[in-house]
Amino acid sequence: MDTFENVSVVKKANVYFEGKVTSRTLVFADGSKKTLGVMLPGTYTFNTQAAEVMEILAGNCEVHLGKNTLHVRAGESFDVPALSTFEITCPEVVDYCCSFVE
């Protein structure tokens, strides 16, 4: 079973788009943060503060990032620069892990 060990978890969920996207924040010993989240089928636009690495754990999605269109499947990831916008379309439920690159 793939786990994150010895982390702190913020109890309160992060809820976006009326619950169609939700996540939990994990804080690691070194102070770095990740979120583990779920996106229901739909299209969502996100704005980043820090750069992010979005790892798709289950499901697949299409990502519009600048002029690029990425097709990302479970086991794959994509990078989003800091202070940028990306649009993501999920044809099915997507389970993801977002790592914030400070």
Binding site for its own copies (CB under 8 A): 1-13, 15, 18-20, 22, 24, 26-27, 36, 38, 40-41, 57-58, 93, 95, 97
Q: Is 22 exposed, middle or buried (0-12, 13-18, 19+ CB in 10 A)?
A: middle
**Hey, CA dihedral for 70, 84, 14, 26, is it positive or negative?**
positive
Smaller CB distance to its own copies: residue 2 or 102? 2
- Give least dist CB 98 to its own copies, A: 12
Q: Closer to its own copies at the Cβ: 8 or 69?
A: 8
Query: Least CB distance from residue 22 to its own copies, whole Å?
Result: 4
Q: In whole angstroms, how close is the CB of 29 to its own copies at the nearest point? A: 9
Cβ 24 to its own copies shortest distance, Å: 6
User: Is the four-CA dihedral 60, 35, 77, 79 of positive or negative sign?
Assistant: positive
CA angle 32, 81, 57 (to 5 degrees): 65
